[in-house]
A and B are shown apart, each in its own frame.
Chain A
Amino acid sequence: MTLRKIIVAILILFSFILQGTVFQSLSFAGISPNILIILTSSFGFMRGEKEGLIIGFLCGLLMDIFYGDMLGFQALVLMYIGYINGKFCRIFYPEDIKLPIALIIVSDLSNGIIYYVLLFLLRGKFEFSYYFINVILPEAIYTIVVTILFYPIILKINTKLETREKRRAKKFV
């Protein structure tokens, strides 16, 4: 168990608990932000495909156990989101805020659309525009607002961990 694993595990638990409690009471018109998406996609583009997909899988699994009907559904969606975000690791610079925000918006929108298609459209609820305007879009906007506060914290934790790892690697060489 390295320090990174412990801290990431704490971050996942922390965001999951916040999402179910604090952010539900801070919801506007019944819509609350999705901070597990922020966590998954930001670790995806900061650390690469593998870490993104593992964190996505864990976040999704937690959500499935507590709130899902089928175990593994949200885990699968978040895992792919983390993996695809990991593809952008090569063009990510910590100083740039545009790419993270764009990626998180796209991730949250696609998460909402996948969710709608698989769990609502297939049950014969065809009014996509209603669900898009009233659930998917507000969630994405709210998520972005929270990203502006939450993302710098994640970035700072990650840079701290990375400098620590580099120092240790140097020591052993």
Chain B
Amino acid sequence: MSPIIRKKGEKFTLPGKYLLFILTFVCCTMMLLTFGTDIFNKPLNTVVGYVVVPFQEGISKMGSWLSNRTDELVQIRQLLEENASLKEQVAQLTEENTILQQEKYELNTLRELIRLSDEYGDYEKVGARVISRDAGNWYSTFIIDKGTEDGLCVDMNVIAGGGLVGKITSVGMNWARVTSIISDNSHVSAKTLTTGDNMVVAGDLKLMAEGVISFSYLLDSTGNVAEGDKVVTSHISDVYLPNISIGYIHTITQDSNNLTKSGYITPVVDFEHLEVVLVILDLKQQADESEADIQQ
């Protein structure tokens, strides 16, 4: 007798085995479909956004309030020590400042000379709050509280504190998922600001705890790239807008093939304590088109 044949007057129940097979099939189909297309994203993202996001917002607000209070208590003693050392620094910095003033003047003239466009000041941006972090321990993604309602869409660049944080990989009505550049599955095409050599910046789970990201395929033929050089996004990326700063070269080593170099970068952004981020509303593709229009 088959267990799924319905008898008269008996309540219909599906045994676990069959349900397991059906749901396995459903999962596999979904995986295959989402691998190629994004048909599920719209409806599911919308529904879930309305149920979960309001709670996440509330709880993360409460959580950050609590952690702020505890931090304050811990910090009082630190602050006293810090104050003394800061006073010393002030004296040092005033001296440095005068030197920098001179250098700034020099920089301004040089900038005019090469017409380096002012650092991403002309992009349209919108601020968003981080409301939840990746539930697993493998990748580094987080949820922000703005979505399609605020004009966000997939592949938009996210910055914070003057540096690149990542890009939007999924979006709902009132939330969006940001995959950060320190995530193990992230790759960014970058270049050094001094020499313009291209490289690939990739996140790595092993390095996430140390607060650095790795770069590779740096074709430094002249050998001019040194530790401390600034790294920005390059022009050849199809997602990231050019000239957004990523970080500074921390270590640099020659690869065993003697052609390329690789090493680590200290990012500008403090990924551990992200609270507010800026989303650039200009997409790379759109920005290119409008530039082309101007040229015509």
Instruction: Report which A residues bind B (CB closer than 8 A).
Output: 13, 16-22, 24-25, 29-32, 34, 36, 48-50, 53-54, 57, 62-63, 65-67, 69-73, 75-76, 79-80, 83, 86, 115, 119-120, 123, 125, 127, 130-131, 134-135, 139
Given A65-B45, A76-B24, A135-B137 contact (CB < 8 Å): yes
The distance in angstroms between the C-alpha atoms of A57 and B63, with both chains bound, is 28
A66 touches which of B16, B55, B135, B205 (Cβ 8 Å): B135
Given A17-B52, A25-B67, A130-B23 contact (CB < 8 Å): no
B131: interface (CB < 8 Å): yes
B105: interface (CB < 8 Å): no
CB pair A62–B48 under 8 Å, yes or no, is: yes
Q: Which residues does chain A contribute within 8 Å of B139, judged by CB atoms?
A: 67
The distance in angstroms between the C-alpha atoms of A60 and B83, with both chains bound, is 49
CB pair B59–A22 under 8 Å, yes or no, is: yes
What sequence of 0s and 1s flags, for each residue 89-105 of chain B, a beta carbon within 8 Å of any chain A beta carbon? 00000000000000000
CB pair A66–B48 under 8 Å, yes or no, is: yes
Q: Which residues does chain B contribute within 8 Å of A18, judged by CB atoms?
A: 59
Task: Select from chain B the residue with minimum beta-carbon distance to A22.
Answer: B63
A16 touches which of B52, B141, B184 (Cβ 8 Å): B52
Given A17-B56, A66-B177, A71-B135 contact (CB < 8 Å): no
CB pair A66–B28 under 8 Å, yes or no, is: no
CB pair B137–A139 under 8 Å, yes or no, is: yes
Interface of B is mostly: helix
Given A13-B52, A119-B138, A70-B59 contact (CB < 8 Å): no
Name the distance in Å between A139's Cβ and chain B's nearest Cβ: 5
Q: Which residues does chain B contribute within 8 Å of A115, judged by CB atoms?
A: 136, 138
Given A53-B16, A86-B16, A63-B63 contact (CB < 8 Å): no
Task: Select from chain B the residue with minimum beta-carbon distance to A36.
Answer: B135
CB pair A72–B134 under 8 Å, yes or no, is: no
The distance in angstroms between the C-alpha atoms of A139 and B205, with both chains bound, is 15
The distance in angstroms between the C-alpha atoms of A130 and B210, with both chains bound, is 14
CB pair B137–A20 under 8 Å, yes or no, is: no
CB pair A72–B52 under 8 Å, yes or no, is: no
Given A62-B48, A76-B28, A135-B205, A49-B143 contact (CB < 8 Å): no
Scoring B23, B24, B35, B208 by chain A CB atoms within 10 A of each residue's CB, the highest score goes to B23
What sequence of 0s and 1s flags, for each residue 1-20 of chain B, a beta carbon within 8 Å of any chain A beta carbon? 00000000000001111011
The distance in angstroms between the C-alpha atoms of A161 and B138, with both chains bound, is 36
The distance in angstroms between the C-alpha atoms of A36 and B137, with both chains bound, is 13
Name the distance in Å between B184's Cβ and chain A's nearest Cβ: 7
Given A67-B134, A69-B185, A79-B63 contact (CB < 8 Å): no
Q: Which residues does chain A contribute within 8 Å of B28, judged by CB atoms?
A: 72, 76
A34 touches which of B23, B60, B136, B206 (Cβ 8 Å): B136
What sequence of 0s and 1s flags, for each residue 207-244 of chain B, a beta carbon within 8 Å of any chain A beta carbon? 01100000000000000000000000000000000000
A-B contact pairs, 25 of them (CB 8 A): A13-B55, A16-B135, A19-B135, A24-B135, A25-B67, A32-B135, A32-B137, A34-B136, A49-B16, A50-B14, A66-B132, A66-B143, A67-B135, A67-B139, A67-B177, A71-B30, A71-B31, A71-B40, A75-B27, A79-B24, A86-B16, A120-B205, A123-B185, A125-B184, A134-B206
The distance in angstroms between the C-alpha atoms of A109 and B35, with both chains bound, is 26
CB pair B26–A63 under 8 Å, yes or no, is: no
B51: interface (CB < 8 Å): yes
